[in-house]
Structure 1
């Protein structure tokens, strides 16, 4: 397919971004709702981690078939079907009367919005030039930060007025509107070309690629872990470790997400010029990712003295790994773009699920072992820090042995 004209490209981006905004809001809303859901359904830390992680479990479970469908049928057709599932998931969550019902609805939501980033990135791979792909990837993530921002103070303000169930009915309606915008603005896929391309290559080629293997552990632990903290554990840390009230915690989440929004906007502005100067993805990750370890270490050491500012520093410094996603997509030919991007997304969101649930399990285990709640949180986050450092060591070792030039 040929590159889109500027005006059409902008409209396509905005239509996809509208859908991704609400997918990110649904992803992050459990951090703000955690006190309400914990009280209403009597959830412990492991339940809360599993509930938040259920979104990512549903998301991850569909990634491999999603990649094949995107390459074969194109982003427009695939995302419309998936958003219909997301509408059903939001409606089911609004009707939930038990934890198991909540969890099933959460998994359905995750599966339904699983195409909201992969579909546009697959389309961008054919419709946009490489520098524009790097920029639009960062700006899609910036849009996601807008969604996460909206899941904090705005949701906290609406809760006493509307309640959490009507919020999910509203989300169902807005996702239906997103479907209408995509149907109107996104161009059709060339099905003959896509059908021929989709038979070229396989997931085996993706999984075995040295660059994909190089990026897998940092995507799983550092990127996935950052999302796990941003979308769930930042809230409980501020309430149960730093002593924030629920409204102050929502304000802290608002601060974190507005910092992330500014960070992704900055990446979108900077990455094309950095690429032109020969500063590639690998170099940026190698230089920048250790900053996240320093921030996470500070969070653990400071304990109750560490709040929204330290959490924001950790999340912002972890965004160096976000550059890996478009870089992985550009390593492969356009015929494999959907599968390569979805395979890497699977890695990331499996990481989110494991880290999100794992931190909850560790907190409960440390408390059962006699730790006070603050110490249990610090110990669980210390385990997370150790896994992140080990994944970075693998990245450095693989990079030094990888003959492929960084994208």
Structure 2
């Protein structure tokens, strides 16, 4: 075999394991999304068992995002320096520990701590999958592979709605949380067996931090991150928490059926992420499909917020379109990687993911606070009941966030799917 053929053969022999490693990261993101949305199908039980209102539940759910968003920049730096294998293994086990703490919590503070631990360790999921994709596959495949990972994440969001609600009804929310902990243990073992590190950054903390400073000083990084926040609002604020009680009120559905309708937003996102990723790679553009996706998401969210009397089929379509358009966020990850130095790729991805996911920590408690502000005092089954007007007013914040995202995306520099830094 010639010298030129040997590296080619080595690449092909490594490809199956690289695919398994990427798939493990994508499954980790699937699992992380189940955990992310789980409180949305436990709202009534948590309000009843801990005697709290919407603001408290919004804050409880947001502790996931405090941990997740707060860890994103460290995760990016750690991925650049140490590679994904050990980090993803320990993180999956940490998710399992957080689920156990959540299930056995005697008080609201312990529930919040469990959510924080889950979020902080789930932070390694998507960045881990994208790190494996970036290390082992060519740049022209990055948006597609990242989109497919995002698709699996959205499938987790769907599973965390109606199917998880059925599990909660069959068992209870504590036992369901313990069942989720078992999934983290399985993922930890799988990550240790399949994920491999192709490269690690040289140098110490000073050199790694220099890459972070470079990422933070890049105006394009901030524009992409804020645009990504505009896509996240409907996903986390509506489908991830408050959409279920809203649809139960406006459509007369039980919680399981309402969760099934909100799942259409996750399905739309899951379909849109690989489709938009493939389309972007195909046409060699990041900006155009990103802008179009945000416009679609903003229009669909406006329909959901301001036209609550629509027939159920129309609500389902709007949820799907909102998710499909919001999936353009994946192009932001591809663009920020191309607009920052390769040695700081993990830091750039982590920085954007910190703000994108941190939107959940902003939107979920903010919406809960706005709902409590408009509460008329009505209670049913120990849980507060909010009016349609209160929900519509609160969801206006999500529409505004998407509009701001459109403005930022219009200012983003086109990379033409090439490394430009």
Give the RMSD, CA atoms, in angstroms: 2.7
**Residue in structure 2 matched with residue 104 of structure 1 by the alignment:** 113
The answer to whether the 8 Å contact 2:339/2:415 transfers is: no
**Residue in structure 2 matched with residue 244 of structure 1 by the alignment:** 253
Whole-Å Cα distance in 1 between the matches of residues 11 and 336 of structure 2? 20
The answer to whether the 8 Å contact 1:211/1:404 transfers is: no
Per the alignment, do residues 118 and 246 of structure 1 end up closer, same or farther by CA in structure 2, a change over 3 Å counting?
Answer: same
1:182-232 CA distance string (max 9 Å, x none): 1111113545x5447982642221112132122132122333443332211
The answer to whether the 8 Å contact 2:277/2:330 transfers is: no
1:77-111 CA distance string (max 9 Å, x none): 21222222212101101101222221111111101
Matched, 1:126 2:135: yes
Matched, 1:299 2:284: no
Any unmatched runs of 5+ in structure 1?
A: none
Per the alignment, do residues 210 and 93 of structure 1 end up closer, same or farther by CA in structure 2, a change over 3 Å counting?
Answer: same
Whole-Å Cα distance in 2 between the matches of residues 142 and 369 of structure 1? 40
Deviation at 1:369, TM superposition (A): 12
**Residue in structure 1 matched with residue 382 of structure 2 by the alignment:** none
Whole-Å Cα distance in 2 between the matches of residues 184 and 356 of structure 1? 36
Matched, 1:359 2:364: no
Deviation at 1:34, TM superposition (A): 1.9
**Residue in structure 1 matched with residue 388 of structure 2 by the alignment:** 374
Whole-Å Cα distance in 1 between the matches of residues 362 and 230 of structure 2? 9
Matched, 1:391 2:396: no
Whole-Å Cα distance in 2 between the matches of residues 194 and 229 of structure 1? 42
Deviation at 1:404, TM superposition (A): 6.7
**Residue in structure 2 matched with residue 312 of structure 1 by the alignment:** 320
**Residue in structure 2 matched with residue 144 of structure 1 by the alignment:** 153
**Residue in structure 2 matched with residue 272 of structure 1 by the alignment:** 281
Whole-Å Cα distance in 1 between the matches of residues 387 and 185 of structure 2? 42
The answer to whether the 8 Å contact 1:241/1:377 transfers is: no
The answer to whether the 8 Å contact 1:71/1:336 transfers is: yes
Deviation at 1:253, TM superposition (A): 3.1
The answer to whether the 8 Å contact 1:329/1:337 transfers is: yes
**Residue in structure 2 matched with residue 345 of structure 1 by the alignment:** 353
1:149-168 matches, cutoff 5 A: 149-168=158-177
Per the alignment, do residues 131 and 55 of structure 1 end up closer, same or farther by CA in structure 2, a change over 3 Å counting?
Answer: same
Deviation at 1:76, TM superposition (A): 0.8
Which of 180, 185, 195 is 1:186 aligned to?
195
Whole-Å Cα distance in 2 between the matches of residues 37 and 199 of structure 1? 46
Matched, 1:43 2:48: no
1:26-68 CA distance string (max 9 Å, x none): 1111122223222322331111211221111110111222222
Per the alignment, do residues 395 and 262 of structure 1 end up closer, same or farther by CA in structure 2, a change over 3 Å counting?
Answer: closer
Deviation at 1:292, TM superposition (A): 1.7
Per the alignment, do residues 342 and 273 of structure 1 end up closer, same or farther by CA in structure 2, a change over 3 Å counting?
Answer: same
Deviation at 1:315, TM superposition (A): 2.2
- The alignment partner of 1:199 has SS state of helix
Deviation at 1:269, TM superposition (A): 4.2
Whole-Å Cα distance in 2 between the matches of residues 29 and 255 of structure 1? 16
The answer to whether the 8 Å contact 2:91/2:188 transfers is: no
TM-score (norm. length: structure 1): 0.89
Matched, 1:76 2:85: yes
Any unmatched runs of 5+ in structure 2?
A: 1-6, 379-384
Per the alignment, do residues 258 and 349 of structure 1 end up closer, same or farther by CA in structure 2, a change over 3 Å counting?
Answer: closer
